[in-house]
Structure 1
């Protein structure tokens, strides 16, 4: 893909252009445009793929024939005549790019229609596409370190049937989705306990790097302190948590998630980092 120079400047788009009177077919248009934009780029298996719709400068809907083809060349080795950059991108990198309208959906659909033969499932492809060889993807979770006016810390009693740490006290916590960590914390506090926290009132006080077993995916647990909040802790997800209670950090219940206890002790001591489980690998 290349960034557009005139129409929609600064966006990445497919190579291509408009048909002229001298083009005997749309395929001829594609080949002419490729020769003009990237001399020497020769594709194989050129064939129609889909018809998309674009809006012209005067507001009219214009059909656009999209072709598919194969090229395995080095984009840095060609002589790009139009646009400013030509690069390979995987479908999993598209959200980072400023794309022309509808292009992301089109590429994802093409990838779904043409999975590589013998390709691994999507999470494994994500690792292969975006991470250096040997990298282990981590799960990122957020934890709320919330103190009341008496210095007691909020913990929740997990449901007895919970897959993880049933009938055990734990931070208000959750896993990051496609969101930054503080937003995740704010969302989880609202959804799980009805607490309203402003992002500006949140500070990172500890990070715990843990692994539960040799076969488990490693985790990075971010522990955030909320300096201020509103609301009363309320059980809003009873299938996960059956009770919220403030505890004296020096007199915690016996059944506390081990790394939760470890993180609380570290925060009280001013420690920013701890780790657990790595000696069991």
Structure 2
């Protein structure tokens, strides 16, 4: 009987030890998984839901609910001007859509700068910044950079005319890096093929509009295309004909007149000038 009791006790102690080892292994595994989960949470990038396009959009397309959807976007790389709610995209309801001002690719965020206000057309007025005005400049093949201008480009404006005081022809830079908002009647910045324009429309302040209007009425305006990454600005360019041909203006200085001295005497009632040496 004692043998049986001892055997049962031994088996019980063994099972208890085995249970302790299993519990320890389970706790170790659980702790390791818990630490791994904490590490994964630390590496998770925070995101927010924003609206993106689900199909290609081009200039002038009306944006409807079927053309956009919500996706999660990393917060640290969130563009400025995104739309997060239906009320932001369609504040007046889906029947008053926004219109695309530029091309938008699939899964590209819908940004405020790329669409109009609700119910507005994709015209020049929609792309003007606050306080700015649109001014049209007459151009031809030579003055319009051979038709390579597109909305969104920046141009330097040169005036060529005759100065009223000297009557000399000059060419002068009057506006630097002024943005284009339309070429002829086309405000789409995604134009590919060059076209010979008759007018270009620039975005300018009221002061700049006055300068351009005066310059256009008194001489010829010529445009020079500014590079996309060019930040240099020089508004002191002026070339006249003498500078162009390398002619130095000559200044004539009159030689001083020789000093003469004389005395006046009267002879037979007449005044006679007699030269004498000058003492001083």
> Which interval holds the TM-score relative to the shorter structure?
under 0.3
TM (norm. structure 1) is 0.22
Greater gyration radius: 2
